[in-house]
Amino acid sequence: MRDPFDALLATPDLLADLVEAGLPPPLTRPADAPDAQSDAFAPLLQAIRPTGTRTPDAPDAMRRRLLARVGASAASARSLHTLRLADTVADVPAPGVTQRALYRASAGRTRRPGEPDAVTLVELAPGAAWPMATALPGTRAARSGAPGLQRECLVLRGSLRAGGTLLHVHDYHVVPASADDGPWSSETGALLYLRESRPGGDAPARPTTQRAAAAPWTAYAPGIRRRLMWQQGAQAAMLYHALPGAAVPHHGHRHDEECLMLAGDFFLDEVLLRPLDYQLAPAGTQHHFSCTDTGVLLYAHGDVDLDLL
């Protein structure tokens, strides 16, 4: 018996509509695929049919519902900034140093609450030193360590010496805009998450470091715990650990919310993030659901308390 989805996908303009909505077209159904009418999906397929005799309008109604769902999902995804690690571009600002831009705020625009100016992944080869005065990828104007920008750094791998401070995995280091902690270097090699932003009124006066080992894991929600690495007013930098199946309910964002995947897979609405994928949800947006099937470790920068809806 013919799969009812075959007629739906054979609609001439459906593939074009899916692509225009922002999602890839469906894969071609293999010729040797099991008959949908005789497999476990049959009850689901029967449920979407009208009762009684099938009418010619049924595929059109199903098509409209499908495209409405696809359009809503694509519109929601377009309001967020998502960047896969595989889509980043490597830049070499100094010998042995590689930078990959994750986010860059538009020049000449008022910043949203909590919006960073620039976010990058920085990798130092063993023995490399970074003077922190070279242009960030994609621009000659914005410069790491430039006056007026506060720097926040999370060590993802290896060890880093920031001035006189030796940092290890998951240590969090904050350098205020008015301070200079000298060149950064690594004897062993290091991978860093670097966030640069305009400081708030309660910004620190000198560099501060939160050691991961000294930051306790606290219960946050069923199956989820977190480490508070740094806080400035209503914003914070946090590490989250979630067990398989854990979920965060519908919530809004008073400040920009950044998520960097460290391990595992995580769904932010219908966008699946994997290790070192990055997403920024602007202030004023929402996440309808956030969940993990595998368990996850992630870094987040945003509201210290979720705005549950």
- Residue-wise pLDDT for 184-194, tens only, equals 999 999 999 99
**Number of helices (H), then strands (E), in the chain:** 4, 25
pTM assigned to the model: 0.75
Q: What is the pLDDT of residues 201-215, one digit of tens each?
A: 676 778 899 999 999
Q: What is the pLDDT of residues 75-129, one digit of tens each?
A: 777 788 999 999 999 999 999 999 999 999 988 889 999 999 999 999 999 999 9
Min mean pLDDT across 145-154, 209-218, 250-259 is at 145-154
Q: What is the structure's pLDDT at 142?
A: 40
Phi and psi at 226, nearest 5°, equal: -145, 160
Q: For the domain with range 85-213, which CATH number is right: 3.40.50.620, 1.20.950.20, 2.60.120.10, 3.40.980.10?
A: 2.60.120.10
pLDDT at 179 exceeding the cut of 90: no
pLDDT at 135 exceeding the cut of 60: no
Q: What is the structure's pLDDT at 171?
A: 97
CATH class of 216-308: mainly beta
Min mean pLDDT across 55-64, 179-188, 292-301 is at 55-64
Residue 260 burial (C-beta neighbours within 10 Å; 0-12, 13-18, 19+): buried
CB–CB of 176/232 below 8 Å? Answer: no
**Could you tell me how far CA 72 lies from the centroid of its own chain?**
20
What amino acid occupies position 39?
A: D
pLDDT at 28 exceeding the cut of 90: no
Residue 309 burial (C-beta neighbours within 10 Å; 0-12, 13-18, 19+): exposed
- Please state whether beta strands 81-83 and 90-94 pair in parallel, antiparallel, or not at all (unpaired): unpaired
Q: What is the structure's pLDDT at 262?
A: 94
Q: What is the structure's pLDDT at 13?
A: 53
pLDDT at 151 exceeding the cut of 50: yes
Domain locations in the chain? 4-78, 85-213, 216-308
Whether 85-213 and 216-308 share one fold: the answer is yes
